[in-house]
């Protein structure tokens, strides 16, 4: 719920089943809508790493690649998406996302909204993700109509 963690990349050198690795690097992603939860997770991670270094007699080098604050999308864009979904007869609900897609960077410059289509069993960004053809077509209709309304000035100042 409140904290999402994942390791999206793992590199082991020399990556041989018969050699003890001399170097391992991983990309760890911590996400939460609550910045206090992130700070606590980061502090716990630092403490755990220190214990691992001592116990395993290894050195862990930690580099932060990027962080950004939790900032919501413009309410007008979210409302437009909800209206389009209702007009198309599609079920919809607001989704709290911490995804780092292009729209995260663009939303401070132009009206932006992220649209999601449902995945079977809620599995996303995973090799087992599956979305039905019906939901994909509905998502395309939704995207097309949101873009149409944006192009026609629905969010113009």
3-state SS string over the chain?
A: CCCEEEEEEEEEECCCCCCCCCEEEEEEEEECCCHHHHHHHHHHHHHHHHHHHHHHCCCCCCCCCCCCCCCCCCHHHHHHHHHHHHHCCCCCCCCCCCCCCHHHHHCCCCCCCCCCCCCHHHCCCCCCCCCCHHHHHHHHHHHHHHHHHHHCCCCCC
**pLDDT digits (tens), the chain, 157 positions:** 589 898 989 999 999 999 999 999 999 989 888 889 999 999 999 999 999 999 999 999 999 887 777 778 888 888 999 999 999 999 999 887 777 677 777 888 877 788 999 999 989 888 999 999 999 999 999 999 999 998 998 887 6
User: Which structural domains are found in the chain, ordered by start?
Assistant: 4-56 (no CATH), 75-151 (1.10.150.900)
Q: Using the structure block, give the residue that is written with the tokens 């214990």.
A: 51
pTM listed for this prediction: 0.69
């Amino acid at each position: 719920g409140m904290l999402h963690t994942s390791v999206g990349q793992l590199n082991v050198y020399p990556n041989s089943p018969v050699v003890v690795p001399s170097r391992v690097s991983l990309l760890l992603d911590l996400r939460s809508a609550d910045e206090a939860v992130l700070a606590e997770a980061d502090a716990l991670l630092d403490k755990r790493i220190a214990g691992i270094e001592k116990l395993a007699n290894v050195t862990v080098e930690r580099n932060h690649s990027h962080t950004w604050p939790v900032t919501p999308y413009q309410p007008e864009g979210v409302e437009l998406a909800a209206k389009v979904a209702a007009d198309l007869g599609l079920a919809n609900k607001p989704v709290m996302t911490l995804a780092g897609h292009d729209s995260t960077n663009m939303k401070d410059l132009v009206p932006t909204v992220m649209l999601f289509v449902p995945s079977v069993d809620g599995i996303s960004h995973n090799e087992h993700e599956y979305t039905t053809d019906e939901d994909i077509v509905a998502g395309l209709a939704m995207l097309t109509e949101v873009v149409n309304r944006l192009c026609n000035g629905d969010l113009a100042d």
